[in-house]
Chain A
Amino acid sequence: MKRSLTLAALVLVAGSWMTAATAQTAVKAPDPALVDRYMKSTFGKAPPEWQARIEPDETLKACNAYHNNVPSAEADKIVARELARVVYPADGKFLGNWKEGAKIANNGRGGQFSDPPDTVSGGNCYACHQMEQKEVSFGTLGPSLTNYGKDRKFDPEEIKNAYTKVYNSQAVLACSNMPRFGVNKVLSEQQIKDIVAFLFDPESPINK
């Protein structure tokens, strides 16, 4: 009950990031083969592993077709599919080191063609979220996460939900704007644990 309420709240918050479009019909789109020709002409010289990254999987194909505003039946399929892709820590522990998590949240490096290939990616959380109070340079694409753990009474179920959300945002909300950090191997399991600790540790500045 409590969980479904929380989920509903999450959906509400996330829903408000989206455009006001309400007609949940696939947008009239050009022939995929035609779009692929354009893609080839612009990205066709990139290394194969880079080209593979812009090949949409089943989930992204649906999000693209509906401009992220998928009908509920499609959304259920996405959430089920993505939930099956979440790998939980073998040791059953979701909380890492909040101090490391704070650094990861502030690190926007990694994944860009200008980055050296061995760059360790950050989560770049502040690009979109307000987190600890003293950081004034935060983005607003996502909801504020200030007092995240405190507001959720440091509930273990909520801690697991947060791990799920960071590991695979679409396991919680279909076509969420947020990256699927674990599924796409942007962040390691340890990095995700550290971020979850940043959100939930009572000593973390997020909860101060």
Chain B
Amino acid sequence: MRTTAIWSAAAAVLAFCAIGLSANAQDASEKEIERYREMISDPMSNPGYLAVDRGEALWSEARGTKNVSLEKCDLGLGAGKLEGAFAKLPRYFADADKVMDLEQRLLWCMQNLQGLDTKDVIARRFSGPGRASDMEDLVAFIANKSNGMKIDIPVAHAKEQEMLAVGEALFYRRGGVNDFSCATCHADEGKRIRLQGLPNFSKPGKPAQETMGGWPTYRVSQGALRTMQHRLWDCFRQQRWPVPEYGSDAITALTVFLQKQASAGELNVPSIKR
């Protein structure tokens, strides 16, 4: 029922776009899109919360050669402590001697705590029709436990500082057949690609806070819960760069940079976006 309402609203937005001609009409269509966003942003009708429930079950399910759950996994605040952990990720983990985002950390816990062969988990890193993703579900569940909290990643450790510096350099690094970097689209205020607004990540502030405070998100257009790993994978696709390796260092470095720009932004996840 609600889905029908959402789709007729989407159709209304499209119809509205089609008849708009002047700059005025364009402002109006942007407002209409904003109204659509507010309308779908309802936890009671957000399918992302199904992923949260699936993630909760996965978190406590005994798996791997050691047949234990993930409940002893340390996400940075102590073994099994979930509340607020996501707001402080990525961060340095001494046991792995590495800065990790949530997905890298979960893979590490699966391998080291559960003795789980993660090949299949990685193959299903992004869900598709008829193919659930453990990672998307776990991220939805864990990130949700930081709701209402402020993004506050640590940059005290030398390796965290290195990640931040490299992340900034990567943000401005141009390449691919179109010479695009992240900064090509995300270093100015109030710009758009077609009708899609582009948050400015070149400086700390509200656009970065609101964006990063809304990931992971349920993408209506993809019918799936998506994580920042997927968002950056898709950015590199659109940037005409090669396929980035899942859970690899450049992705985490960029995430550190983006989270830093989004410092003090409030988390409300999973959100729901077009």
Chain A residues in contact with chain B, CB under 8 A?
A: 17-19, 27, 29-30, 34-35, 37-39, 41-47, 50-51, 53-56, 60, 63-64, 67-68, 111-114, 121, 126-128, 133-134, 136-141, 177, 179-180, 184-186
Contact = CB atoms under 8 A, between A and B. Distances in A.
A53 B242 contact: yes
B195 A137 contact: yes
22 contacts: A29-B165, A35-B173, A38-B249, A41-B250, A43-B241, A43-B245, A46-B243, A55-B175, A56-B173, A60-B174, A64-B174, A67-B183, A112-B237, A113-B241, A127-B193, A134-B21, A136-B17, A136-B18, A139-B196, A141-B192, A177-B184, A179-B179
Closest 5 CB pairs of A and B: A46-B242, A54-B175, A42-B250, A179-B178, A50-B242
B273 to A, nearest CB: 18
Contact of A51 (B198, B237, B242, B249): B242
A133 B240 contact: no
B245 A44 contact: yes
B117 to A, nearest CB: 20
A54 B162 contact: no
Contacts, number: 137
B244 interface: yes
A58 to B, nearest CB: 12
Interface string B182-212: 0111011011111110100010000000000
Best-buried of B17, B172, B180, B194 by chain A (most CB within 10 Å): B194
A113 B243 contact: yes
Given A112-B237, A136-B21, A60 B179 contact: yes
Nearest to A39: B250
Main secondary structure of the interface of B (DSSP, over half): mixed
Contacts of A18: 187-188
Nearest to A54: B175
Given A29-B169, A34-B162, A54-B241, A184 B194 contact: no
Interface of B: 17-18, 20-21, 25-26, 29, 162, 165-166, 169-170, 172-181, 183-185, 187-188, 190-196, 198, 202, 237-238, 240-245, 248-251, 253
A67 B179 contact: no
A68 B244 contact: no
